[in-house]
Amino acid sequence: MIDRAATDFEAVHGARPSGVWAAPGRVNLIGEHTDYNDGFVLPIALPHTTRVTARRRTDGRVRFHSTRGDGTVTDLALDGLAPGVVTSWAAYPAGVFWALAEAGHAIGGADLSVDSDVPAGAGLSSSAALECATAAALNDLYGLGLSAPDLALVAQRAENAFVGVPCGVMDQMASACCTDGAALLLDTRTLERRHIPLDLEAAGFRLLVIDTRVKHDLGDGAYAALRAGCERAADLLGLAALRDLPAAGLTAALERLPGELAPLVRHVVTENRRVAEVIEHLDGGRTAALGPVLTAGHASLRDDFRVSCPETDLAVEAAVAAGALGARMTGGGFGGSVIALVAAADVAAVADAVRSAFGSAGFAAPVAFTAVPSAGARRLA
Ligand code: GAF
């Protein structure tokens, strides 16, 4: 794979690359729409990665090529980069150059070729994978000495200010900081992290990921509206963020809020509680007990936060009916993917049941695969 990347790179850019970097997509086990409320999240990195093959340039230009595209090379002057200037997929890596320069790092030009097996638009963080692989490449090429969380913050800045999506920090932190064999418990306020060993296979389970193939798009305004709603609710309650509302104060707080904001707040407070519950079960070695917590999380996203869709609801329902211990949509919602915790012996039956339910409902066939907690951004060669 690495030899091929170097050969492809040379064919496009006319010189050998200096290295190859990879960053993964993610699924979030629990803690959805909590990150921009300063709350808690528990993602794992997927084995699927985006690879960036790169070398420095000395003429102040950045050139981006994707092996999945039509062969076009996007060629830009570094000093001309500004939000709104790049509107194609190249906005993600270009945004990383821009964010590093904005933070005062001495970055020169570079040639980049990008390859990926992270499904795009599936709620599996293909954008964060591309940003983090680019940031890891530039960190090494220009000897910036940035830590993994620093790279995640640069990647998030690129997405917020250059691409224009007001995402929280979970996806970039997952892609940059996750480790093999562990879930990442992240406090999104302090960025304090705990790597929680997660060997589902040894416990006799599998994590089934079901891509509904309903493309989700965080840039279409619905995500921003939800984030604004949560921030308004925190403001009305006199809190810095919804993370500061204790579960014991929830009922009283809901009475003080306008009808459209109360369910958002209920979701965020109960979801932070569910993260804590999942951690308690994992710490206690009670893997099967995670199932009902995941399914309760889905109900909250469906009924209170209202970010599920008929396909994700059906995938959860069919998976649980076929014997999954629990299931929930993962990521921002409005389509995307579902995760299901399944006994090893039931994986095929659960995947078949979801496929057959989709067929009966007239939905396009979903794509299912099992995932193990994998490594974060790294240099491959
Ligand atoms: C998307 C965002 F990018 C994350 O920051 C997070 O808010 C998530 O939706 C919902 O938990 O993936």
List the domain range (segments joined by +) for residue 144: 1-196
Which of 165, 196, 227 terminates a domain? The answer is 196
Q: How far is the CA of 34 from the centre of ligand 1 (A)?
A: 8
Distance 36 CA to ligand 1 centre (A): 8
CATH of the domain at 288: 3.30.70.890
Using the predicted structure, report yes or no on whether residue 218 has a pLDDT greater than 80.
no
> Is 77 part of any domain?
yes
Length of the chain, in residues:
381
> Which of 196, 214, 246 is where one domain is finished?
196
Regarding whether 30 and 165 lie in a shared domain, the answer is yes
When divided into structural domains, the chain yields a total of 2
Domain membership flag for residue 376: no
Please give the Cα distance from 141 to 8 (Å, whole number). 19
Q: What pLDDT shows up at residue 58?
A: 95
Residue 46 sits in a domain whose CATH number is 3.30.230.10
Residue 308 lies in a domain: yes
381 inside domain:
no
Q: Are residue 190 and residue 60 in the same domain, yes or no?
A: yes
* For residue 71, pLDDT beyond 90: no
CA–centroid distance, 79 to ligand 1, in Å, is 30
Residue 70: active-site member: no
User: Which atom of ligand 1 lies at the shortest distance from residue 165's CA?
Assistant: 3
Same domain, 240 and 337: yes
Same domain membership, residue 205 and residue 159: no
Ligand 1 center to residue 168 CA distance, Å? 6
- Which atom of ligand 1 is the closest one to the Cα of 31? 11
Q: Tell me the pLDDT band of 224, cut-offs 50, 70 and 90.
A: very high
Structural domain contains residue 219 = yes
Kindly state whether residues 10 and 59 are assigned to the same domain. yes
The answer to whether position 337 is within a domain reads yes
Determine which residue's CA is closest to atom 1 belonging to ligand 1: 332
Please give the pLDDT value at position 219: 65
Q: Ligand 1 atom 5: the closest Cα is on which residue?
A: 168
CA atoms within 13 A on the CB side of 307: 31
**Catalytic residue, candidates 38, 111, 115, 171:** 171
Interface confidence (ipTM) of the complex: 0.99
Helix axes 262-283 and 222-236, enclosed angle (nearest 10): 90
Same domain, 165 and 280: no
Residue nearest atom 9 of ligand 1, based on CA coordinates: 332
The 3-state DSSP class for residue 329 equals strand
Question: Considering the domain boundaries, does residue 226 fall inside one?
Answer: yes
Nearest atom of ligand 1 to the alpha carbon of 125: 12
Do the domain assignments include residue 378?
A: no
Whose CA is closest to 53, among 143, 120, 137, 144?
137
Give the domain-ending residue among 196, 211, 228: 196
Task: Taking residues 58-70, report their average pLDDT.
Answer: 94
Query: In terms of domains, do 7 and 65 share one?
Result: yes
Does pTM top 0.90 for this prediction? Answer: yes
